[in-house]
Amino acid sequence: MTAKITNDNIIGGNIIDGKAFSQGLGERIARAIPAFTAATGRRPGLAVVLVGSDPASEVYVRSKGKMARQLGMESFEHVLPESASQEELLALVAQLNADESVDGILVQLPLPGHLDSLPVIEAIDPAKDVDGLHPISAGLLASGLPGLVSCTPLGCLMLLEAQLGSLSGLDAIVVGRSILVGKPMAQLLLSRNATVTIAHSRTRDLAAKVAQADIVVAAVGSAEMIKGDWIKPGATVIDVGTSRIVRDGRKVLVGDVDFAVAKERAGAITPVPGGVGPMTIMTLMHNALLAAHRRAGLPDPDLR
């Protein structure tokens, strides 16, 4: 688990500014790295593995490496050809597991179709699992024990706590049950003593359940599926979804929530883009720093 992290001035009207929060978190991470280096004689190291040449994945890998370097970390970027075998990828993961200069390992997903991602995720040392996807990471989260948490839900939790303070006793609904967002998000909310409902494609009367929630986390990947008039007045809405749709003759990026209507009812809401998205890379940096401290036997860094 991670300590509560707060940030001032992330609300403009009732819009939660994820970009501003991520910048503030990045500044705190950068300030913490010199103390780690002084204690260990090295900088935290993050390794990112890309298989193939998918343009979007290439952009993500470059941006992660650039951010790591900007904050003062070591960045190790490994690119395997599209034709790489399962054995070659697993061998690279084993090499990175054994490399003492590497504190965090992230294998960029999705992998090419001929590769199975699950054995790759399971091969990563849980102590270096900065993506928080290893079954041991999931088990530690469910058990309330210290571990590395999936980046996107961790970012959502940070935004919620910065906006609301304590989440104890609040009614929360998570719409979506993926291992990437929905399930870990529910566990994180439970760890903060919220009362949590997990909804999904077979949930009956979703509108009524959303209308009861003080916190709505939308993570289904279906454009504007959650209607604005479902939102309880004053609720906090975290929209994880991103979909491209055609509106007025042009492509636009929208979330899972009908933002235009929801923002008139919500106490606070994340926009798409500019809400949850900017948090994902920065929480990856947070996890890399956390992993480095724990591997070195140091206390977790104070990033408040």
SS3 letters across the chain: CCCCCCCCCCEECCEECHHHHHHHHHHHHHHHHHHHHHHHCCCCEEEEEEECCCHHHHHHHHHHHHHHHHHCCEEEEEEECCCCCHHHHHHHHHHHHHCCCCCEEEECCCCCCCCCHHHHHHHCCHHHECCCCCHHHHHHHHHCCCCCCCHHHHHHHHHHHHHHCCCCCCEEEEECCCCCCHHHHHHHHHHCCCEEEEECCCCCCHHHHHHCCCEEEECCCCCCCECHHHCCCCCEEEECCCEEEEECCEEEEECCECHHHHHHHCCEECCCCCCCHHHHHHHHHHHHHHHHHHHCCCCCCCCC
Assess whether 108 carries a catalytic annotation: yes
Assess whether 187 carries a catalytic annotation: no
pLDDT at 82: 95
Catalytic-labelled residue, pool 64, 183, 232, 263: 64
pLDDT at 5: 58
Domains of the chain by residue range: 40-145, 151-277
Q: Establish whether domains 40-145 and 151-277 are of one fold.
A: yes
pLDDT by position in tens, the chain (length 304): 554 555 544 554 699 999 999 999 999 999 999 999 999 999 999 999 999 988 888 888 899 999 999 999 999 999 999 999 999 999 999 999 999 999 999 999 999 999 999 999 999 999 999 999 999 999 999 999 999 999 999 999 999 999 999 999 999 999 999 999 999 999 999 999 999 999 998 999 999 999 999 999 999 999 999 999 999 999 999 999 988 888 888 898 899 999 999 999 999 999 999 999 999 999 999 999 999 999 999 999 999 8
Question: So what CATH class is 40-145?
Answer: alpha beta
pLDDT at 9: 46
In CATH, the architecture of 151-277 is: 3-Layer(aba) Sandwich (3.40)
Catalytic-labelled residue, pool 17, 103, 108, 214: 108
Catalytic-labelled residue, pool 17, 103, 125, 131: 131
